[in-house]
Amino acid sequence: QAAGLQALTREGLGSSVIFQALAANNIDVYVDYSGTLWVNQFHRTDMPPRETLLAELKEILAKQDITLLGALGFENAYALVMPRQRADALGIHSITDLAAHAPTLSIAGDYEFFSRPEWTALQKAYGLSFRTQRQMQPDFMYAAVASGNVDVIAGYTSEGRIKEYDLETLADPKHAIPPYDAVLLLAPRRAHDAALQEALKPLLERIDIATMREANLRASGSSANSSPAAVARWLWQKIGGK
């Protein structure tokens, strides 16, 4: 809109549905995550370094006439999360550290996590085995781990409540979880749309994880300032948009 273009938003499309809609030119642009595309869309099991994965993903998408315009600057990956104070007390700062304590701890994840390849990869890489394993709605997980109702959660790295509740995302030194860089994808019919691409380029590599967490925290509120449009305006101004 700042570039003088009209934008129509469509909501409620799942990741596989929205990708097919883009490929069929039913939508023009959307944000996906590199790990989702790599694992779920293209069924890759190898985990190259982040930059290698992005470069190869760009080539794979180009063969379908889909443009990967670039990364926004933050990840929204799965991560194992604990209260910072508890992690410090137990000396747990990585999933390697966690593995030694896991048999005495409980873990919770969303309704998909324990059937996803990320969980399988974590178990294979670190030999994780927890005392109990629970499913929770994502909105409840962060308060549950902060209050001690569960010891560890499989959260999302861009979640604003990580900062709000002073939680720690545990390092993944074996890179069991693929990178989940937020990337902008353009439909085949927009491959040569210079005006659209120039309008979107100010977003590339401008939104760091701290900014995205703050945006998500704002969006989780109930005031007028928490509406998608209001948070989008705040984010645009935060990264220097005019």
Position 7 confidence tier, pLDDT thresholds 50, 70, 90: confident
Q: For the segment 136-157, what is each residue's pLDDT rounded down to a tens digit?
A: 998 899 999 999 999 999 999 9
Whether the per-residue pLDDT at 120 is higher than 80: the answer is yes
In angstroms, the Cα distances linking 229 to 27, 104, 128, 208 are 19, 44, 41, 20
How would residue 105 be classed by pLDDT, with cut points 50, 70 and 90?
A: very high
pLDDT (mean) for 88-112: 97
Rounded to two decimals, the pTM is 0.84
Question: Per the structure block, which two tokens stand in for 116?
Answer: 């996803």
Q: What was the pLDDT predicted at 168?
A: 97
Identify residue 145 by its one-letter amino acid code.
V
Instruction: Assign domain 15-74+179-206 to a CATH class.
Output: alpha beta
Q: Does residue 20 sit in helix, strand or coil?
A: helix
CATH of range 78-169; options 3.40.50.720, 3.40.640.10, 3.90.1150.110, 3.40.190.120: 3.40.190.120
Domain boundaries, the chain: 15-74+179-206, 78-169
Helix (H, G, I), strand (E, B) or coil at 178: coil
What is the spatial distance between Cα 61 and Cα 185, in angstroms, rounded to a whole number? 9
The reply to whether domains 15-74+179-206 and 78-169 share a CATH topology is: yes
The rounded distance, in Å, linking the Cα atoms of 9 and 11 is 7
CA atoms within 13 A on the CB side of 130: 20
Q: Angle CA(199)–CA(202)–CA(208) in degrees, nearest 5?
A: 140
Residue 242 confidence (pLDDT) above 80: no
Does residue 12 surpass a pLDDT of 90? no
241 pLDDT tier (thresholds 50, 70, 90): confident
